[in-house]
Chains A and B, each alone.
Chain A
Amino acid sequence: MTWTGVRRVVGPPVAAVGLALLVAALVLVVSGADPVVAFGNIWEYGSRLETVIESFNRATPLYLSGIAFAIAMRMNLFQIGVEGQYILAAFFAAYVGAGVGSLFPPLHIAIILLTAMIVGAAWAGLAGWMKVTRNVHEVISTIMLNAIAVAGVVSFLLGRWKIESESLDTRLGDIATSGWFPSLNPIVELATREIKRVELTGFILVAALVGVAYHLIINRSRLGYDLRATGANPWAAEASGVPPKRTIVLAMLLSGAVAGLVGMADLLGDQHFYSLRFPQGLGFAGIAVALLGRNHAVGAAVAAVAFGWLERASGVLEVRGDAPREIVTIMVGVIILFAVIAYALAQRRRRIEAAAAASAQVESTDVAGAEEADT
C-alpha cells in the first residue's frame, strides 16, 4: 500500500481519536481535574501487562459483536439485535453446557459453541424471516426481539432453571471444567513475565478466526459477492440473479451465529455459568466497533482493542480520584461522532478524486485519439 493509501485508511480514525482526547481534556479541565495528570495515570496504568491483557479480554467479545453487526451491515441490514442474540445464546449455551456434565473437552466446548451459534442464528433469523415475509423493518424487529430475549425468555427460564446457591445471585449451574476454554497465560508468559490475577482468554483465537473467515467470505466468495451486491444495489443484484429474500435471511443467520459467540469468551473463559450478572451491553458496543472499523476485519480489531483498552485503563481514574470514569464514555461517544464525520469527508473527497481521474482518463485518450487522427 502506498503512503497515501495508508494515510487514507488510518487518517480519519486517528484524527477522530485525537479530537476526542482534546474534548476529554476540556471536560477534565471543566470538572476541575488536571488532564495531564489524569492522562498520565491512564497511560501508566494502561501500559501494565495485566491491564493490556484485560483490554484484550474485553476486546474479544467487542470484536465478535462488531463483526456480527458488520456482516448484516455489508448488505445494508441494520441488525441491532446482537444484544438480545448473544444474551439468549449465552443463556442456552450455559444451560446445555452445564446439563451435559463432564465430557471430552473439545466435544464439550464444541457443543456449547454450537448451541450458542444456533440460538443466535435462530433469533436473528426470526428478524430476517419477518422482513421477507411480513416486510417488518429489521430495526423494529431486532429491538423488539432484544427485549423479548432479555426481559422475556431469559428472565422467565432463569426463574425456572436456577439452582440454589449461597450467593444472592440468580444463576444457572456450573459448566464442568471440561467445558472451560484454556487460558493463553502460559504462552504469553514465555515472552514476558509472570502474570498476576488475570488470564488472557483463549477465545481471542476464535475471534481472530472469525475475523479471517469474515474477511474471506465477504470479500472473496460468491456468497459475499451476492451479499455486497445486494447492499450496493438490491435491484441490480436481483436482476443479476441474487435471490433477494434468501440472501436477507442468510445474512441474518450468519450475523446471528457470530452474535451467538459474543458471550462465549466470558462464559467459557471466565464465569463458567450464566447469572443475572452476565455482562450486558456488548451488542450495542459492537455497533461502535463496526462503525469505527468501517466494517473491515482489521479495522474492527483495532477499534475493539482501542475501546477495550480505554474501558479497562480508565478504571484508574476513580481509584486515584482524578475524575469520574464516565469521562471515557464521553470519549467513546466523541470518537464515534468524529469518526463518522471524518469518514464522510474522506469518502466525499475520494469520490471527487475518482471522478476527476476518470474524466482525465477520458480526455487524455480523446486527445490521443485526435492526435492519431491528425497524423
Chain B
Amino acid sequence: MSVAVRLEGITKRFPGVLANDRVDLVVEAGEIHAICGENGAGKSTLMKILYGMQAPDEGSVEVLEQERTFSSPREAIDVGIGMVHQHFMLADNLTVIENVILGAEPSRGSLIDFATARSRLRELGDAYGLDLDLDDTVGTLEVGERQRIEIIKILYRGARILILDEPTAVLVPQEVEELFRNLRELKAEGHTIIFIDHKLDEVLAIADTITVLRQGRSVARVKPEDVTAQDLAELMVGSELPTPETREATVTDRTAVEVRGISMVDEAGVTRLRDVGFSVQCGEIVGVAGVEGNGQGELVEAILGIAPVTEGSIHLHGDDVTGWSVRQRREAGLGYIPEDRHRRGLLLPAPVWENSILGHQTRSRFLSSRIWIDEEASKDHASHVIERFDVRTPGVHTPVHALSGGNQQKLVVGREMATECNPLIAAHPTRGIDVGSQAAVWEGLRRARAEGLGLLLISADLEELIGLSDTLLVMLRGEIVARLDPARVTPRELGAYMTGAAA
C-alpha cells in the first residue's frame, strides 16, 4: 500500500511552548487514521502544519510520496488535502449549494453556473451517501448536516486526503453513526481520512491505524485490534501515576455549593445536562473529570447563572440561588476561573488594575462609596496580585492584551484567589502556564482549601485532578457517570470512565 502522508520529525515551537516535538506520522493511502491525545498534546498543531496553516520549525512533510512545503492552505488544497475544522465555516444565510461552491464557483461568463454545480454535487452526494437538500438554508440545519456540508465542500474542491478535527465533538450518538457510515463510504472510494478524536470507543470503532500523541510527541502507532480502550487511555495520559499526596482532610460540614438534580436543554432542544447532583463542602476540592464537551462547560455556566437550568436547583452556602442573577451569586462569594480567559475572564484592552477587580467590582473594598470605584484600593489590590502570583507586567496600567498568555492566566487565577472567594469554580486553572507557576497555583489552592475554600475543579490534566481532589466526579454526555476516590483510582481507570469504556 502506498503512503498518503508522511510527516517526519515535525517540531513546532510557540513562545514558551513546544507544541510538537519531533513528531512522526505515517498515513497509508485509503485508510482511516485516528490521531488521539489529550488536550494540548499537539494534535491540532500537527494538522495545521499538514494543511499549510502553519509552517513547521523542523521536519519534513511528504504528501503522496512527494516532499512539500505548504505556505498556505490553498497549496495543500491543490495537492488534494481538505480539512473540516471543529468550528464550521459556513454562512448561515446562504443555501447549501451556495455554501459549497463559495470561493470555487463554476462560472458561465460572469454568471455562476448553478446547473453544473448542482449536477456535480448530486454526483458527489450519491457516490458517498451524503444526503442533503441543496436548497435548504444552512441556518436551519442540524449540526450533523452542517458537518456533511463541510465534507462535501472539501470533496468538491477535489480533496483525496480528508482531515477532520474532532468531528464527533459536536455530534449526538446517532449522528456519530451516520458520520462513520459516510467515512467508510469515502474510504471505500479510495479516500484517505485523518481524524482527530479523544473518545476512545469511537477511535477503536472506526480507525484502521491509531497514532497517539502525548505532550507534543508521537508515543505510539497501533492497530485497534491490538489494543484496548484502557491501553489507549494509558498511552494518552502516560503510564506514570502521580502519587496522590497524603494530606489530612479539611472537609467541613458547611456546604459551599450544592447542585440538586439539574438538567439543561439548549435552544436547539439538545439535552446538555441530565440530572446532575453533587455538593462541595467548605474545605473540600471536588474534581470533575471528563473529555471536553461532555457538559462541564454547561455545568459551570449553570452554577454561575449565565445559562438557565431547566430542572433542579443550585445552592450557595445553603441559599437557593437558582433564580439569582450572576451578580447576586458573585456577591454571595462565588469565584470563577474561566476555561477561556479571553472570552470570559478578561477585558483585553483595559489595564491590569481594572482587570484585577473584574467580577468583584461591587465589593466594598474596591469602592469608595456606593457609586464610585476606589482606584487607589484597586491598584493596590492589582499590585498585590502581581506580586503574589508573579504576574510579569510593566505595571498596573499596562493593557492586558500586552501580557503573555501565561501571565494573563496568572492574573485571572490570582484575582480570584486574592479576593477570598468561596466557593470557587476553576476550569483548567493551570492551563497554559509554566511548571513553576503551576506549582504556585496548586499550593495556593491547597492553602485556600485548608482555610475553608470549597473548590469545584474542572481539568483535563488528570495528574492535577487526582493530586488535588478530595472527591472525583466523571462527566460523560452531560451526566455524572462515576464518583471516585482519587486516592484509589488510577489514570487508566479514570480514562476508561471518561471515554465510557468502563461501565
Chain A residues near B (Cβ < 8 Å): 220-226, 228-229, 232-233, 235-243, 351, 354-355, 357-362, 365
Contacts and interface: CB of A to CB of B under 8 A. Distances in A.
B407 A241 contact: no
Contacts of A357: 394, 398, 402
Interface stretch (B256-264, B280-288, B336-344, B441-449): B336-344
Interface in B314-369: 325-331, 336, 338, 343-350, 354, 358-362, 367
A9 B153 CA distance: 49
B221 interface: no
A239 B345 contact: yes
Contacts of B346: 233, 236
A358 B354 contact: no
A359 B361 CA distance: 28
24 contacts: A220-B372, A221-B372, A222-B362, A222-B370, A226-B361, A228-B350, A235-B343, A236-B343, A236-B345, A239-B336, A239-B338, A239-B344, A240-B330, A241-B330, A243-B326, A243-B327, A354-B402, A355-B402, A357-B398, A358-B392, A358-B402, A361-B394, A362-B407, A365-B392
| Most A C-beta atoms less than 10 A away, residue of B359, B362, B402, B407 | B402
B428 interface: no
A358 B348 contact: no
Contacts of B394: 357-358, 360-361
Contacts of B338: 239
A358 B373 contact: no
Given A229-B358, A241-B362, A361 B392 contact: yes
B473 to A, nearest CB: 22
Contacts of B373: 220-222, 224-225
A1 B404 CA distance: 27
A241 B325 contact: yes
Contact of A351 (B343, B370, B401): B401
A359 B392 CA distance: 8
| Interface core residue of A226, A236, A237, A355 (most chain B CB under 10 Å) | A236
Contact of B371 (A222, A235, A243, A358): A222
Given A220-B373, A239-B304, A358 B326 contact: no
Which has the most chain A C-beta neighbours within 10 Å: B328, B359, B360? B359
B354 A225 contact: yes
Given A228-B350, A236-B358, A240-B361, A358 B403 contact: yes
A233 B402 contact: no
Interface residues of B, number: 41
A362 B359 CA distance: 27
A99 B338 CA distance: 57
Contact of B359 (A235, A239, A361): A239
Contact of B326 (A241, A355, A359): A241
Contacts of A242: 326-327
A222 B367 contact: yes
Nearest to A347: B349
A240 B358 CA distance: 6
B392 A362 contact: yes
A365 B358 CA distance: 26
Contacts of B327: 241-243
A236 B361 contact: no
A232 B349 contact: yes
B393 interface: yes
A232 B358 CA distance: 12
Interface string B132-156: 0000000000000000000000000
A359 B16 CA distance: 12
Contacts of A232: 347-350
B330 A358 contact: no
A372 B180 CA distance: 57
A229 B350 CA distance: 8
Contacts of B80: none
Given A239-B306, A358-B407, 7 more contacts: A222-B371, A232-B347, A233-B347, A236-B345, A354-B402, A358-B393, A361-B392
Contacts of A360: 394
Contacts of B401: 351, 354-355
B359 A240 contact: yes
Nearest to A364: B392
A212 to B, nearest CB: 14
Contact of A358 (B343, B350, B372, B398): B398
Contacts of B224: none
A362 B329 CA distance: 36
A351 B372 contact: no
B350 A239 contact: no
B399 interface: yes
Contact of A236 (B344, B370, B402): B344
B375 interface: yes
Nearest to A232: B347
Contacts of A354: 398-399, 401-402
A238 B326 contact: yes
B169 to A, nearest CB: 21
Contact of B372 (A222, A235, A365): A222
A238 B306 CA distance: 7
Given A239-B338, A358-B394, A358-B403, A223 B371 contact: yes
A364 to B, nearest CB: 9
A195 B304 CA distance: 64
B348 A359 contact: no
Nearest to A358: B402
Interface in B402-427: 402-404, 407
A235 B331 CA distance: 18
A365 B410 CA distance: 16
A237 B338 CA distance: 12
B399 A362 contact: no
Contacts of A243: 325-327
4 closest Cβ contacts across the A-B interface? A241-B327, A354-B402, A240-B359, A232-B347
Contacts of B358: 229, 236, 240
Contacts of B367: 222
B361 A225 contact: yes
A351 B402 CA distance: 7
Contacts of A225: 354, 361, 373
Contacts of A233: 343, 346-348
A122 to B, nearest CB: 24
Contacts of B362: 222, 241
A359 B336 CA distance: 27
A365 B387 CA distance: 12
A240 B329 CA distance: 10
A233 B327 CA distance: 16
A239 B325 CA distance: 10
